[in-house]
Chains A and B, each alone.
Chain A
Amino acid sequence: MIGALILRDLGRELAGAAWLPVAFFLLVATLVPFAVGPDAQLLARIGPGALWIAALTAALLPIERLIEPDRADGVLDQLALHGVADETTAVAKIAAHWLSFGPLLFIAAFPAAVLLGIDPAALKRLLLSIWIGTPGLAALAVAVAALTAGLPRAGSIAGLLLLPVAVPLLIFAAAFCGDGSNQALALEAAISILLLAGAPFVTAAAIRAART
């Protein structure tokens, strides 16, 4: 069932607006040179950090579509009645969300790096930090989506919930991008694993609490 569920969710996300967060990410990357001016050195220095901010805000866009449609439509109830634990549903949703979000963001990082004049060495570190950070970010997005499912103005509340929790991820990812000689990557991976491990339980608890 979990495989079928991942495939279903992935299909729905790709058929929907999976390109939207990526377009948003590229748009923010385009805005940065306009905002800070054409100083190539400055751009290359702040580039990775700016792209990580873009990635975090892009992660907010799909949140309202991750859990709420299935909750409102009774799909989550039917999954529970078919013997699928809410935690399993949560894991499937996290996997499907990452698959529709992580690889696309990874690809979009190439043109974004060109826009900001990021050198190849820094680009390599940026890609690595995206590869390692986005699973945690996807897990966090699903958990926040479950916590805000069914609330009015869920999108804005989700931003207030997600961004503060994502700060450690941002700190270590940006630190690693700026200087590859430190241990920031290990710490980013630790945060990502922590989010991946905790999010299914938070998501499942939120799904259960939303049943009325």
Chain B
Amino acid sequence: MTLLRFEDVSLHRGGRLLFEGVSFVLGAGERLQVTGQNGVGKSSLIRLAAGLLREASGRIERSPLALADDNVAVDRELTLKQALSFWDGSVGTAMEALGIACLAEVPVRLLSSGQLKRSTLARVAASDAKLWLLDEPLNALDGDGAERLSRIIDAHLTAGGAVLAASHQAIAGEWPKLELGA
């Protein structure tokens, strides 16, 4: 089952061509890492896949998805559990998996950037979307966080999901690479 398909996609940003001719298919149980130097368009490709940007040409097919990028999208005044529950009711398991269950009653504004990153990933893990889009998932994560991330990714792929990650760092596991700007 195809969860995400790019067909000869190109993208313009601020009047300049960022990339063109990008084609790939992501099916159930598959993962793909977008790599490339800073500014080559990794994050833009993720936002394009999410449907938050319009492609200049080509075709994109997508199934329901969850996106984790640098924007936390949780209310700072609420406790972490309340804030995450706004998006998906059952966040307990996901918080457990990311090691932030102990922070459930802590106001979001007091969390560190690593804890916020884990929260963002927990929001994605709690959603029932098959397709995960992760933009620089390793940013601000410590060793334990990176390990937990690779564990939830493996579990998600085993359950028939797919993951598209953009990162210039190596993510644990066997990742087919899509090199932008090469």
Contact = CB atoms under 8 A, between A and B. Distances in A.
A124 interface: no
B69 interface: yes
A8 to B, nearest CB: 6
Given A211-B52, A211-B53, A12 B75 contact: yes
Interface stretch (A50-58, A73-81, A90-98): A73-81
A36 interface: no
Contact of B67 (A8, A73, A81, A83): A81
Q: Which of B47, B65, B67, B75 has the most CB of A within 10 A?
A: B75
Interface residues of A, number: 16
Contact of A82 (B72, B74, B87): B87
- Chain B binding site: helix, strand, loop or mixed by DSSP? loop
Given A8-B75, A12-B77, A15-B77, A77 B52 contact: yes
Nearest to B127: A82
Q: Which of A4, A15, A81 has the most CB of B within 10 A?
A: A81
A73 B47 CA distance: 15
Contacts of B34: none
B52 A73 contact: no
Contacts of B13: 212
B52 A78 contact: no
B71 A73 contact: yes
B73 A4 contact: no
Interface in B45-98: 47, 50-53, 64-67, 69-75, 77, 86-87
B71 A77 contact: yes
Nearest to A81: B67
A4 B87 CA distance: 10
Contacts of A211: 47, 52-53
A163 B70 CA distance: 36
A4 to B, nearest CB: 7
Contacts of A78: 67, 71, 73, 87, 123
11 contacts: A8-B75, A12-B75, A12-B77, A77-B50, A77-B73, A78-B67, A78-B123, A82-B87, A211-B47, A211-B52, A212-B13
Interface of A: 4, 8, 12, 15, 72-75, 77-78, 80-83, 211-212
Given A74-B72, A74-B73, 7 more contacts: A4-B86, A12-B75, A75-B73, A78-B67, A78-B123, A81-B50, A211-B53
